[in-house]
Chain A
Amino acid sequence: MSALLQVSGLHAGYGDSEVLQGLDFDVGAGEVVCLLGANGVGKTTTMGVLSGLVPASEGRVRYDGADLLALPSHERVKAGLALSPEGRKVFPNLTVEENLYLGSFNRNARAHRARKLDEVYALFPRLAERRTQSAGLMSGGEQQMLALGRALMSNPRMLLLDEPSLGLAPLVVQAVFGAIRTIAATNISILLVEQNTHAALSVAGRGYVMAAGRIVYSGDAAALRQSPELRDAFIGGKSARDKSARKGEALDA
């Protein structure tokens, strides 16, 4: 199987602190894969590296056969890789519709704008109702829908979703993950980063468990649910981090 996204031996961090210490994983075309782990293990940093917000210090990322790290951020979006960031980051003073239009800023997506807008409004009728409202005035759940919709507007082949459940009420989480399932059914690949393991495994076919900047376990959703590693990643996160804190000792893919 040739993966759409293949990450190998990835190192990255901020200043002196290295957050990712030899990360390996892959996501196949049309697959939904989740990246699980406690706070601070490097999940959001991973998303940052994939979207170009955080530079990688070492390692390779291949996307659709090409070297992803060589592309500047805006080229990555053009190549069909879209991130819905942690904390949603909608444009608060712009209207809902303007936010969505911005999602299809890149030239490749602009051609599909009308069609994509219909799709997003069909997926999230709430957004259609509020299209002229300022995004900053909406509830957290609605903003999450907007962030997802905005990412979809770029006509992506692969969506990167960073903590879509963050700060949302359980019912809203259900609605958001329902939408993610619908998106997955349209053959868009999804890499999902979550702390809400239960929600993540309800949509993902398989997943990885991260601790201290590396993958410590991988398997399909059913295996993950049973795995002690997953429990350890959250409960024993601290000790796992110390154990593998030594540098330059990448796991084999």
Chain B
Amino acid sequence: MDFIPQLIVDALLLGGIYTLMVIGLALSFGVTRVINFAHGEAVMLGAYGAFTIFAALGVDPLLAMPVLMVAGCLLGMLLFRVAIAPVLKAPHVNQILLTFGIGLVLQNIALVVWSADERSVVPAYAYSSFEFGDVVVSGGRLIGFGVALALVLALFFWLKRTEFGRATRALAEQHEAAVLMGINVNQMYALAFGLSVALGVATGVILSFLGAVSPFMGFHILVKGFAIIVLGGLGSIVGAVMGAFLLAFAETAVSYYVPNGTGWAEAVAFLTLFLVLVLRPRGIIGQAVAD
């Protein structure tokens, strides 16, 4: 089939964006052990942030991205302090419902502020495209992929090479020992949560020029995000990257080969979740299902 190269390129580009989409989710869960059911809403708000700045000031989303990320990080830290920290030791039920409720609040604030109308941001590069032989690449996707890749690499660098990044990994591995290292756990939790929100916001900024922005986009993103991190092993950041590309390939393949495939591609995430649970009930990477 001569669209295989196209399929591979499409899947890779999508996988890069998925990686950015879930890496924050994996980061905050790995460190705090609270899964953030409002992560999709961080993405959604990032997209609206980009839209609003573009519509009001005509500023390119990519230029607005750093500002939006910083704002997202600060808001995330604040949210953590106010709402998540009090339930860190509460039963799972409370943690799940709390973050779910926060997502609901954010989604409907967006609905009230921006209405249900779908919005989009159209910088010049959104409609450009390049041809490499048989393969056609949309400029927006290419740029989105590039930015996502840069951010993911930056996160890995931060985790590997910086004082706080190292402390973050330590905290994810051995909570008690991390305390003994003199790491201020609450501060690190808030930082990890803030960073996770910032990464979600960045994803939203990229998505703002790749498709429609709506208050409900966060929910679909959340389901996909879960499929990806379950696939890769909950809490494992490297696993999340693998899961992102696996899902991207599966979805792209479905949309190419299955009749009516673009619609069915949306169900791949759901199917993946079930398959992982049936075939590998303990998750692909062991720690996944411990509690």
Contact = CB atoms under 8 A, between A and B. Distances in A.
* A–B contact, 8 Å CB criterion (strictly below): yes
A101 interface: yes
Contacts of A98: 166, 169
Interface in B198-241: none
B179 A103 contact: no
B176 A105 contact: no
A33 B217 CA distance: 62
Given A102-B181, A105-B181, A53 B176 contact: yes
B85 to A, nearest CB: 14
B1 interface: no
B180 A83 contact: yes
A39 B176 CA distance: 21
Contacts of A93: 169, 173
Contacts of B184: 72, 74
A101 B167 CA distance: 10
A97 to B, nearest CB: 10
A91 interface: yes
A94 interface: yes
Contact of A94 (B169, B176, B180): B169
Nearest to A106: B182
B183 interface: yes
Contact of A89 (B163, B167, B174, B185): B174
A51 interface: yes
Interface in A128-161: 150-151, 154
A91 B180 contact: no
With a 10 A CB-CB cut-off, give which of A83, A90, A91, A98 has the most chain B CB atoms: A91
A195 interface: no
Contact of B166 (A51, A77, A89, A94): A94
B150 interface: no
Interface string A69-96: 0001110111000110100011111100
Given A101-B166, A110-B163, A51 B180 contact: yes
Interface in B94-120: none
A71 to B, nearest CB: 11
A91 B182 contact: no
A97 B183 CA distance: 17
Contacts, number: 70
Contacts of A110: 163
B136 interface: no
B169 A91 contact: yes
Contacts of B182: 73-74, 76-78, 105-106, 109, 154
B286 to A, nearest CB: 13
Contacts of A164: none
B176 A91 contact: no
Contacts of B185: 73-74
A94 B173 contact: yes
A221 to B, nearest CB: 28
A52 B181 CA distance: 12
Nearest to B164: A105
Nearest to B182: A77
A82 B183 CA distance: 12
Nearest to B173: A91
Contacts of B176: 53, 85, 89
B179 A52 contact: yes
B173 A77 contact: no
Contacts of A109: 182
A76 B163 CA distance: 19
Contacts of A52: 179
B62 interface: no
Interface string A160-192: 000000000000000000000000000000000
With a 10 A CB-CB cut-off, give which of A77, A92, A105, A109 has the most chain B CB atoms: A105
B238 to A, nearest CB: 10
Closest 8 CB pairs of A and B: A77-B182, A106-B182, A89-B177, A74-B184, A74-B182, A102-B181, A91-B173, A105-B181
Interface of A: 51-53, 72-74, 76-78, 82-83, 85, 89-94, 98, 101-103, 105-106, 109-110, 150-151, 154
22 contacts: A73-B179, A73-B180, A74-B183, A78-B182, A82-B180, A85-B180, A89-B174, A89-B176, A91-B169, A91-B170, A91-B174, A93-B169, A94-B173, A101-B166, A102-B170, A105-B163, A105-B167, A105-B181, A106-B181, A109-B182, A151-B180, A154-B182
Interface of B: 163, 166-167, 169-170, 173-174, 176-185
